[in-house]
Amino acid sequence: MNDSAAARDFATLLPLTLTLNDHAGTEKISDLPKKLSTEGSPSGTAAKAGDLALYAPWGSLAIFYTDFPHSEGLVKLGEFTEGIGDFARPSGNFKVTITAAG
């Protein structure tokens, strides 16, 4: 997790169990239980495989398994250091539990 307001806000939700859905063949997404703060965040960013991000306009979490170009409203929260290939499975919903490392 990075040190942004959005990431700190997200960390307060952990551990968090979500149902992920494939979106655009690049990421898995899920609605979050509350809106996260985007104070001090850039207006958008590009994503790399392994990035964990908030898509602020929808209030959804995005876990990218492929790179994605700059998108307005995308706020990087952190990144996975391993296992991102597990998210590149075919379409279909599946549950995950996200916990803080360490």
Decide if pLDDT at 3 tops 80.
yes
Among 2.20.70.10, 3.40.50.170, 2.60.120.10, 2.40.100.20, name the CATH number for the domain at 5-98. Answer: 2.40.100.20
Going 88 to 91 to 96 to 99, the CA torsion angle's sign is: positive
Give the model confidence (pLDDT) of 9-56 as tens digits: 999 999 999 999 999 889 999 999 999 999 999 999 999 999 999 999
Query: For residue 102, what pLDDT is reported?
Result: 67
pTM of the model: 0.92
Residue extents of the structural domains in the chain: 5-98
